[in-house]
Amino acid sequence: MSEVKSLRDLGIWVISKPGKAASGITGTWRTFRPVINRGKCNKCMVCWLYCPEGVISKDADGYPRVDYEFCKGCGICAYECRVKAIDMVEEVR
């Protein structure tokens, strides 16, 4: 299997851009949060593509950044990450 470097390598084309959490601020009721492991991440942004709330963006270094104020903690980004660079970590309150 060849190395995936970008969404184009996957043959996936974005039809619409995800938007900010439709139900408002959700971070207060989340039980798990996605944490990006930059050592494993290849910056492919598949997590951004599958995030249903559109809370993932790129940081200054090109790595995914999660807006925890709106993240519901659904884990879809971690499930879809092909290099397993996203861990779902229990929230500590």
pTM of the predicted protein model: 0.73
The per-residue pLDDT for range 54-88, each reduced to its tens digit, is 899 999 999 999 999 889 899 999 999 999 999 99
User: Is 2 inside a domain boundary?
Assistant: no
For the chain, how many structural domains are there in total? Answer: 1
User: Is 83 inside a domain boundary?
Assistant: yes
User: Is 74 inside a domain boundary?
Assistant: yes
User: Taking 90 as the threshold, does the pLDDT of residue 5 lie above it?
Assistant: no
Within 8 A by CB and 6+ apart from 29, the residues are none
Question: Which domain, by its residues, includes 61?
Answer: 7-90
User: Is 45 inside a domain boundary?
Assistant: yes
User: Is 1 inside a domain boundary?
Assistant: no
* CATH code, domain carrying 40: 3.30.70.20
